Structure 1
Amino acid sequence: MNTMDSRTAAVLAILGYLLAVAGMLWLLRRALDEGGEQPPPVRAAGLSLGVLAMTCHAIALLGTYDAGHGPNFSFLGALSLVTLSINAMLMLTALFRPVDKLALITFPLASAVLLAKLALPEETRGISNHSWPMATHIFASLLAYSLLNIAALQALLLAVQDHCLRSHHPDGYLLRSLPSLQSMENLMFQLIGAGLLLLTLSLATGFIFLENLFAQHLAHKTVLSILAWLVFAVLLVGRQRYGWRGQTAVRWTLGGFVALMLAYFGSKMVLELILGRT
């Protein structure tokens, strides 16, 4: 696929994501105005709009794929891949759990990343190691980051819902359509549990198969990833043994996610955008 086709697909993905958000908001408002939660056909229609946008996003990423070096792991290239992974995991999870409303955050985020990638061309950065251990490490890292990102968004939504209920202002179509606080909290911990397992796999494959994991250019990434793992592990232990919930759980979840985000994107931003290194 040539550059022009890739840019066209990116533009279509941006428009698709924005149309999906507008459609989901309209369907949400219509369903609640009629006196209830979204019926399955309405919910499926909203998810279908997102799938179409994600397809265009994937086509745009394929246009930057290099047969010799694999996916483009430049800063914005990696961020684009991660936002697609987040949306894909969100759509899959939405088949079994009521998380589809988080797309009202993740879809605009993916659009902003694609727009930045169109406006700010970067040098393509591939990987030299194409072995199955490296593929396992990258795949586990992407899935872990995606699930824990969704858990962090769930935590933010839980905090807003809790604040509105405490202040006796449960207004707004979005808040009125959410499940109970307990259901929202249980879902957040389920996402954290699954994400922690994948993060464990990511760290384990990194320690076993990758060399110089504590080399100068990787040390901060490794340390921050371990810190994030510890934060999420402590949170789950605290939940199990001490019944941590509410704002305590939200703060630990967001703290762990910030550490994980800095582990990858913080280091890449400093190395590539500030220091100009790979």
Structure 2
Amino acid sequence: MILPSASPLGWLLALAAAAAYAMPAAAASRLGAAGMRNALLAAWLLHGATLVLGLWNEAPRFGFAPALSMTAWLVLTVYAVEKQLFPQMQARWVLAVLGAVAIVLALLFPGQPLHVSASAWLPLHLALGIACYGLFGAAVVHAWLMTRAERHIRLAEDPHSGIPLLTLERLTFRFVTAGFVLLTATLLAGWLFGDALYGRAWRWDHKAIFSLMAWITFAALLLGRARFGWRGRTAVGVLYAGAGLLLLAYVGSRFVLEVILGRSA
């Protein structure tokens, strides 16, 4: 995501979005279902307006916190669509916390300005990467819901209190498959067109190594499910490992550069 670093309107929209996210996170029991839904909708719209405003900024920025913020917005978008198809899906509180934290981080760490000499195709490459983060983020949320559903079954709790376990599992792997396709496309673009995109050839830095490790982990997950029937805790554990590696690839490396080392590259 690209956020303005000093726009008063940008700050106002972002703070309003964070406050709207915080309402269902802090007062879920008092708001009720309708109140939760309205608060999340308002937060999602304000968050989206912040992103659109950032795209028109004269000095667009990018970094680990903006990437997390865009990922959170995409995950919420997926949730909003799925909620229409599966009204029993219950993840509002978790997503509200995720959105509020992501917004605040993006305000505190807006990232570094993009180079004016960057390729015109760079935004497309970044969009592929962020979409990949969003799909795997949605997969992680579904895996968490799947784990919670399994726990409810083991404890003999109401099996109709959420979305069916098999449906959750099917949705989780659909998101993993789509994310894997985008991750493959992103890595191939960086490898084949690194000179055009970044002005330098592909190099084996931390981002490349962690991204490749994540790709191998997700490939093993999809292969293990297709050939060996991986599911349940095994599949969820591998998914979490791959998502952690992918998070370290860009977000982790940029955090170290921007916050710990104070460098732009």
- Displacement after TM superposition at 1:255 (Å): 0.7
Q: 1:142, CA displacement in angstroms?
A: 0.8
Distance 1:99 1:200 in 2: 33
Match for 2:224 among 220, 238, 243? 238
Identity %: 28
Structure 1 alignment gaps of length 5 or more: 29-41
**Once the 2 structures are TM-superposed, how far is the Cα of residue 61 of structure 1 from its aligned partner?**
3.6
Q: C-alpha separation between the residues in 1 aligned to 2:240 and 2:30?
A: 26
2:132 maps to amino acid: A
Q: Which residue matches 2:256?
A: 270
Q: TM-score, normalised by structure 1?
A: 0.79
- Provide the residue aligned with 1:34 in structure 2: none
DSSP-derived class of the 2:113 partner: coil
Residue in 1 that maps onto 2:114: 126
Cα deviation for residue 229 of structure 1 reads 1.3
2:36 and 2:92 in contact (8 A); partners too: no
- 1:39 aligns with none
Question: Which of 219, 223, 227 is equivalent to 2:209?
Answer: 223
CA distance in 2, matches of 1:243, 1:114: 38
CA distance in 2, matches of 1:157, 1:27: 20
Distance (Å, rounded) in 2 between the aligned partners of 1:240 and 1:83? 29
TM-score in terms of structure 2 length: 0.82
SS of the residue corresponding to residue 170 of structure 1 reads coil
Conserved in 2, the CA contact under 8 Å of 1:69 and 1:127? no
Alignment partners' CA distance in 2, 1:259 and 1:92: 27
1:181 corresponds in structure 2 to 165
> How many angstroms does 1:238 deviate by?
1.1
Which residues of structure 2 form unaligned runs of 5+?
none
**Aligned-pair distance for 1:27?**
4.4
User: What is the identity, as a one-letter code, of the residue corresponding to 2:75?
Assistant: I
The equivalent residue for 1:106 is 95
1:194 to 178, 192, 207: 178
Per-residue CA distance 1:136-185 (angstroms, 9 max, x = gap): 2111111111010111121122123213322x2526xxx75212221211
- The residue type paired with residue 136 of structure 1 is L
* CA deviation map 1:105-147 (0-9, x unaligned): 22211212323444x3656432435544322211111111101
Query: Could you say what secondary structure the match of 1:101 adopts?
Result: coil
* Equivalent residue, structure 2, for 1:51: 41
Residues 132 and 93 from structure 1, CA distance in 2 versus in 1: closer, same or farther, beyond 3 angstroms? farther
Distance 2:237 2:109 in 1: 36
3-state secondary structure, aligned to 2:79 = helix
Deviation at 1:59, TM superposition (A): 2.6
Assess, with a 3 A threshold, how the Cα gap between structure 1 residues 52 and 185 changes in structure 2: closer, same or farther: same
| Offset from partner CA, 1:70-118 (integer Å, 9 cap, x none) | 3x21333333233223322332344445695334322211212323444
2-structure distance, mates of 1:123, 1:187: 33
Judged with a 3 Å threshold, the aligned counterparts in structure 2 of structure 1 residues 18 and 200 are, in CA distance, closer, same or farther, namely: same
CA shift, 1:267, in A, is 0.1
The farther-off stretch of 177-186 and 204-213 is 204-213
Residue 17 of structure 2 corresponds to residue 13 of structure 1: yes
**Deviation at 1:247?**
0.7
| 2:246 is equivalent to residue 256 of structure 1 | no
Hey, what's the Cα distance between the residues in 2 that align with 1:24 and 1:143?
Answer: 32
